Structures are given as C-alpha cells and as structure tokens.
Structure 1
Amino acid sequence: MRQASVDDYGQIAALQVRNGFTIISYEDWMAFWRENPVYKQDRQCPIGWVLETESGEIVGYIGNIPLAYRFAGRELRAAAACSWVVDACYRGCGFGMRLMNRLMRQKDIDVFVFTTMNSVSEPLARSLGFSKVPVGTWNKKAFWITNCRGFSQSALKKKSVPFATVAGYPVGAALFCWNSLRDGMPVSSTSEIELCTDFDSRFDDFWEDLKYQNDNVLLADRTRETLQWHFRSALSRRRASILAVSKGSRLDAYAIFDRQDNHALGLRRVRFVDFQALNGSEDALRPALCWMLRKCREEGVHSLEVTGCWLDRPGLPQIQAP
C-alpha cells in the first residue's frame, strides 16, 4: 500500500472501469484535486491510497477528499472517502479494510464523511462507528414527472419490458392523468429569481450570513470558491442551473440543479442538488422549484429528482413530490 498520486489516474481509471465504476476525464481528475480549496491550502494532504502488486499494477484504491466544515464557531477539517474499490480477487484478503483503516488513521481530521454509500459499503461503515446523518432518507428518491411519455418509456426499458417505446404511450397517458390530479403548488412570493451562469461575490456575503444564523448546525463550507470547485464540471458542461433568489441586491436563497441524464435508459433527468436560505426566506423554495419544473417541461426533460428526500428537513416548506 502507498499514497496515491495524481499521476496514477490511468491505472485508477482502469481499476474503476473493471469494477463497473463511472470514471471522469483526466482534465476533471486534475481539477478535482488541484482546485479543491482545502487541498490548495495543504498540498501535503493525501488524495488517497492505492494497493499495488509487485509488478506495479494498481488493484485497489480509496480516495480522500479534504473538506471544510463549520460548527459552533469552529472551522473543522473533514475527510470524505470516495471511489473505494478493490479488484474481486483481492477482496477476500482484507485489503479493502486496510485501505479504509489507512484513511481513518489520518491525523488532524475532525470529521470523517461518506457521501456515496451503497448496500455493500454501509455495513462496513457501521462497523467502523459511522452513523447516518439525521436529515434525509438517503436510500430513497422523490421526483416530479415532467414528461410522462418519456419517463414511462425509460421506466419500462429499465424493467426490460418488450416494446417499451410503444407501450410508453398508454402508460404515459395514464401517468399524465394521475399527475394532473396531484400536481399543483401554490406560489406567492415577492422574491426575484435570477438564473446565474456562475457564483459571484453575493454568494460569499450569503455564506457569512448563513453560517452566523446556523452556528449550532454542522455546515459544509459553501464559500464562492468551494461552490465553484464543487460544481466545476457541471458548470463547464452547462449542466448546472443556479437560481439566485433575492430582494433588491441581497441574496436571500439559492437553488442548484444539475442535469444528469441516464443515456442507457434514454432518461432525461434533472437533479435538485442544493437549496440554502437565510432565516425568513425559506419560502423561496416554492418559486425556485416551480421555475425549474416549468423549464423541465419546456425542454422535454422527463423528471426532476431529489435524491435522499432532503427537502423534508426542518424549517423548509412542506412540499411533497407527487
């Protein structure tokens, strides 16, 4: 086992492909590490560890993303595990846990985070003392169907139903009727909604207010620089939609959506990935959501999805996906 390097991209990508992972481009890989605001402050921070055979082949990897959090007036250092993968022939020898144990032995880390759990890794994480965050139901999804025929065809294709394209017409019609009965989100707001192409200086001012108002809440850093890094790939590919909700020149809330199509199923999908609001501006969620639902319908997007059902968190308007 040794510390991973950005130069290991080729072998790590090959390892991920062998094990069914989705890979990112070399350009995105380099930017993901080198533009990370925390990593830029500490270039000695490991980007992860690899398992390497005597012949130099990488057969295991765990990524280590340095992140900043804040709680009770303190700046916290966090480490998020990512892309934990070991070739099948090495899994029974405990090599996977050796990688995880190495990540957990890091010094000067206040919080360890898993953001991409699945049915395989969750029992292992629990055995290491990890617990679920108290907000959201992260093994579930909520969604609005914005194109009934397209959505039904993708759903039937996923179920391997024969002639999914043809069958999608009657199923889509039934979905449309059902959706029409349940749809409806009354909106009354004096806020202005602006579609932004980037994160400007208002987002730094917003972050200062947000962390002051939520001093007793564990918050992931949301400075302008961090948001720009986190959504770099989506912004560069014009997949991200940033909605700024303001009154006058002050940013009161924002919503971020990411276009994440499933090409294998022919599913055109937008995911609602973040919403933050200052105290008293939580109702901005409704007009922001309605704005994106309207855009999805106009552009033929099949569904708007919320992974983890995090819209149910306390303090937000109670909005139920149909």
Structure 2
Amino acid sequence: MPIRILDETDYPGVQALHRAVGWPARSLAGWRWLHANPARAEIDAPAGWVIDTGDGELAGHVGNLIQRFQHRGRTLYGATGFSIIVLPSARGQGQRIIRTFHTQKGLFARWTFNANVVSQPLYARHGMIPWPEQTHALKLGWPVAPLPLIAGKVLKTLHRLAPDTVSRLDEQLMNDRLGRAVRLALPQGVSLLEDIADASPYGAFWTALASEDRFLSDRSPATLRWRLADPDQTQAPLLLAVERDGAMVGYAMAQMAKGNTLEPPVLEIVDLEALAEHAEAVPLLMTALKGAAKQLGAAKLRLPVVSPLQLARLGAFADSARREGGWGHCHVIFEHEAAHEAWSPTPWDGDQGFCLRPVPLTQGARERRPLVAASSHSKA
C-alpha cells in the first residue's frame, strides 16, 4: 500500500479512520483549520501522510503539526506527529508511516508527547528517545471532585467485563455546570486574559519571554489567535494572566475535555509559562486553575506534559499532585542538540491543545460558547 502526502480530499477518509478506532472525528472545517497552520505554510511542509489502499479508502494516517521556535534570535521549526492510526488491514505499514514522519528534513526535531501504552514501544525502533529524561512518563493530576473520578473508574471496570453493554450507554458523568458561562472567583493578582492583540500586554509578555535564553515554541499573539480559532472547540479555552507593576509576567491556558463517554470532564492545562524572574506566578496560576476546575464542572485539573523546569516551578503543587501516566508518552528525535538543555516543553508543544476530546454540549450550551462570563477576585 502506498504512503502519500495528505491532501484536502482525504479529510472524509481521515474522519472515517478516527471513527473506526473510537477517536473524536474532527469536522471538515477543523481539518481545514489545521491545514491552514501558518507555520506549516512558511516551510511548505506536508499536513500529514495517509496509507492509500488504492480503492478509494484509507488504511492509515499520521498528522504533521509544524511549530515555529525561537532560540537566541534564531527561528527554527519542529513537528509534532498526531492522530497516528493504522488499521489491521494495513498491518506492517505502521512503521513505514512513522518513518515517513520522522525522516522529514529541515526540522530541528520531530516528536510526540501523547503516545499511548500500546504505541510507545514503536518510537524507540525509529531512533526516538524518551524525553525529557526525568519526566517523559509523568502526568500530574489534582482531583477537585472525587466522586465522579471514582464513578469513572467503576464504569471502566464494567466496560472491561461487559464491553458490548457499557458501550451502548449515553454520555456519562456530565453535570449542569458544563457549558455554562461561569463567573470565576480568581485569586488576587490573576485575571482573565482577553486581549491578545499584537500591541497588548500579552504581546509584550511574549516579547519578554522570547528574549530569555530558552528554546521556546512560538506563543506570539498571532499564533495564539490561530490556536483559539479551532472550529471544533465546544468551549473557548480559559486564558489567565498574572501582572506585576502593570506588566504581564505569567499566563496559563486550559481547556475543558472529556476523554470518552465513560470519563468525567477534566480541565487540561495546555500551557503554563512565566518570566524567569517571576517564577512565583506559576503557583498563583495553579491556585486559580484548580479553583476554576471545580467551578467549571471538571472532576480534576491535569498537566499532561511535564518538564523538570515546570516541576520545580510548581513547588507545593508538585508535592500534592497525583502521579499519572507511568509509560513513556513523550518521545523525540533531535537534529540540533541545543534543544536538549534549553527546551522545557509544555503541553502546548504537543498535540494536547487540539487533539483533546471536547466536552459534548447541547446546541443551547454551544450558543453560550465563552467558558467564563466575567471574573471576580476572592479574598485569598
């Protein structure tokens, strides 16, 4: 079976692949949005590859998300592999399509930060290494509603015992806070980030962050605006900012998601950054995020990609977190060694920001698309 570059006529076939393995099927508009990735267009990279059966059907797919990086005044490009699907009918082709992804040229690295237990051994066979060395198998979670989490575990157990019966259940563990525009109670010093224009405080924050001696994925206002334009979101992501003396010094982005019909909703941290001299902004943002998770109807707050720098900045939050994961979900192959020490990835650098399953909402709830109506500060 030939492997060829994905084109826009393949999107219905890619949707069918996702449905075949029980993954969320992104809309055609969503695939067109991904295809319009500005960083991909700058280097004319493929949007992905497919395994073509030759009879009008697809038997496999790997997406290719190009990201722009800044380091010491240089612009480099890297790629995240996502939605890697190979049907049983294409057995043996999985290694070929992964090899196609990780041998593309002109990139400082290729990686996946979202490998599952079954797929993760494949990456080592292609020269990809578990990375970061200390935290590649770590995810952190902070429960805020224990009962739905327990109920989710019970449903998973029942699914293993009676998969046909449980799979016919409707969406479980929903609650009446989901989809509502909530007035968040935020701690002093934290506010909603609403202005992401080029000349906004966020723009100045990105300029300051990019000037640090770090290897950073592009979080410029233009890139953030493109990320927020994902048409498949049922709720806009939550954006928070910390200011000191009138200047923005830290920010967080989090997204409500629901892994499948049997899991409770989770507030997933997509990005968490602060200027080097204001590392104290990270615990403050975590306090706000944990409070927001409960108010928005999530069962827990989760950080799905962790770096050693983040672990240190989390402080007491790292000590109180539940260690999740346990397998090497982060793998990378480097072409430029500079990133080994200078790159401290967050979920922003992986596919979590656009491969999370959105919380399914009714049409009425979708019309209340903003995640929060406004904010008020708590006395804490």
TM-score class, shorter-chain normalisation, is 0.7 to 0.9
1:111-144 alpha-carbon deviations (Å, 9 max, x no partner) = 2122221233322211221122226634343222
- Deviates further, 226-235 or 18-27: 226-235
Structure 2 CA distance for partners of 1:88 and 1:157, relative to 1, 3 Å: same
Are positions 1:276 and 2:273 aligned together?
A: yes
Q: Is the 8 A contact 1:240 1:257 kept in 2?
A: yes
Q: Whole-Å Cα distance in 2 between the matches of residues 68 and 211 of structure 1?
A: 12
Distance 1:307 1:60, change over 3 A: same
Structure 1 pair 308–48 and aligned structure 2 pair: CA distance change class (3 A): closer
Q: What corresponds to 1:41 in structure 2?
A: 42
In the aligned structure 2, how far is the partner of 1:65 from the partner of 1:309? 20
Partner of 1:203: 202
Q: Is structure 2 residue 292 aligned with structure 1 residue 301?
A: no
Q: Equivalent residue of 1:69, what SS?
A: strand
Query: Are 2:305 and 1:313 aligned?
Result: no
Percent identity at matched positions? 24
The equivalent of 1:79 in structure 2 is: 79
Say if 1:135 and 1:55 are closer, same or farther in 2 by CA, change over 3 A: same
Cα distance in 2, alignment partners of residues 99 and 263 from structure 1: 27
TM-superposed deviation, 1:315: 4.8
Residue 259 of structure 1 deviates from its aligned partner by: 0.8
Which of 6, 9, 19 aligns to 1:7? It is 9
Question: 1:26 and 1:136, CA in 2 relative to 1: closer, same or farther beyond 3 A?
Answer: farther
Contact in 1 for aligned 2:134/2:308 (Cα 8 Å): yes
2:196/2:202 contact within 8 Å kept:
yes
CA gap 1:47/1:192 in 2 versus in 1, 3 angstroms: same
Residue 302 and residue 119 in structure 1: after superposition, are their counterparts in 2 closer, same or farther (change >3 A)? closer
Q: TM-score, normalised by structure 1?
A: 0.80
The 5 A counterparts of 1:1-322 are 1-34=3-36, 36-42=37-43, 44-92=44-92, 95-134=93-132, 137-160=135-158, 192-197=189-194, 199-200=196-197, 201-213=200-212, 215=213, 217-233=214-230, 237-262=234-259, 264-265=261-262, 267-310=264-307, 313=310, 315-318=312-315, 319=317, 320-322=319-321
Which consecutive unaligned segments of at least 5 residues does structure 1 have?
Answer: 163-188
- What is the TM-score when the length of structure 2 is the normalising length? 0.68
Cα offset for 1:312? 6.3
Distance 1:298 1:91, change over 3 A: same
Aligned partner of 2:374 in structure 1 is none
Q: 1:60 to 1:266 in 2, by over 3 A?
A: closer
Quick one: structure 1 residues 104 and 312, their matched pair in 2 at CA, closer, same or farther if it must change by over 3 Å? closer
Instruction: Check whether the contact 1:135–1:313 (CA below 8 A) recurs between aligned residues.
Output: no
- Alpha-carbon distance change, 144 to 54 in structure 1, aligned in 2, over 3 angstroms: closer
Q: Which runs of 5+ in 2 are unaligned?
A: 162-186, 322-380
CA contact (8 A) 1:142 1:321 kept: no
- Whether the aligned pair in 2 keeps the contact of 1:197 and 1:241 (CA below 8 Å) is no
RMSD over aligned CA atoms reads 2.7
Change (3 A) 1:296 1:99: closer
Shift of 1:278: 0.6
Amino acid in the other structure paired with 1:51: I
SS in 2 for 1:112: strand
Higher relative contact order (CA 8 A, sep 6+): 2
